[in-house]
Homo-oligomer: A and B are copies of this chain.
Amino acid sequence: MKILVVSAHPEPRSLTASLARFAVDHLRAAGHEVRVSDLYAMKWKATVDADDFPDHAGDRRLQVMGASEEATLAGRLSADVAAEQEKVRWADAVVLQFPLWWFSAPAILKGWIDRVFTAGFGYGPAVPAPYTEGVFAGKRALLSVTAGARPSAFSDRGIHGSIGDVLYPLQHGLFWFTGIAPLEPFAVYGSNDLPEERFAEARQAYAARLDGLFTHEPVPFRTLDGGDYDHDMRLLPGVEAPGTEGLALHARPRG
């Protein structure tokens, strides 16, 4: 299969870089075709601005969604964005490797998302509706994060919020929104000081997750058009298991 690995850390000797290299090697050894977007190495431009839309007249008000859709449909995006879109289209699965900074993606990775998932590519009237079969139906995604905190702090009752809830904007808001089926996130905790023994364990656990990229069951998020939501995109009363609240509402109960 074809896999895109995106990684986001300024230091080539970092844990993030090591895990990204490990993933690439492991997936290739398993016979997959792998492409890599090492965002810092690429000096990826993080901010959306008028330069992303070369045809946008400087004196016109920049309406980001409109300009984004226009440029996307006309094939007139800046070259760096177009190249990343081609990789996403090509890939059967996307792996994002990053350190959790302030409980979300580093800015450079957020900027990859903001700039690559343009209107007309990832969302908007020109592509299939969100949370359905979606524009990228059939693809899968795996978030692989490192966090300084202990695992209990990201558990269901952990103060940081469960890792799935904290990553919901990516898992559900980016991937599922565009039809990509996200797996449960993979996380290495206590990452500020990771002795070789725990690093070896982490690689082993990561390998098992990478081996299951196309076979493990994705998070069972509900489809918008599957009969669970009303016309205002609210979950219908009584669809959820009794007592379910919060973001867990949007996943079907596991069998």
How long is the Cα–Cα vector from A47 to B250 in the complex, in angstroms? Answer: 33
Contacts of A105 in B (CB 8 A): 110
Partner of A247, one of B149, B173, B246: B246
Contact with B along A50-94 (1 / 0, CB 8 A): 100000000001111100000000000000000000000000000
Cβ contacts A to B, 9 pairs, < 8 Å:
A14-B61, A14-B62, A46-B46, A102-B173, A107-B107, A111-B111, A150-B232, A157-B249, A246-B247
A49, CB-defined interface residue at 8 Å? yes
Which of A25-33, A163-171, A198-206, A207-215 is the interface stretch?
A163-171
Shortest CB distance A222–B (Å): 8
A65 contacts across to B, CB distance below 8 A: 148, 192
Answer yes or no: A120 CB below 8 A from chain B CBs.
Answer: no
- Inter-chain CA distance A243–B114, complex, in Å, is 36
Please provide the chain A residues from 145 to 177 with a CB less than 8 Å away from any CB of chain B in the complex: 148-150, 152-153, 155, 157-162, 165-166, 168-169, 172-174
**CB-CB contacts of A104-115 with B at 8 A, as 1s and 0s?**
111110110111
Contact indicator B117/A113 (Cβ below 8 Å): no
This chain's copy number in the assembly: 2
Q: Return chain B residues, CB-CB under 8 Å to A222.
A: 159
Contact across chains for A153 and B232 when beta carbons are under 8 A apart: yes
**Does A138 have its Cβ within 8 Å of any Cβ on chain B?**
no
Kindly list 18 other residue pairs between chains A and B, CB separation below 8 angstroms, not including A152-B233, A158-B232, A159-B234: A10-B47, A11-B50, A13-B61, A46-B108, A46-B111, A47-B106, A48-B106, A64-B99, A102-B169, A103-B168, A104-B110, A104-B169, A105-B110, A107-B110, A131-B159, A157-B249, A165-B246, A247-B247
The 8 Å CB contact of A11, one of B64, B172, B246, is B64
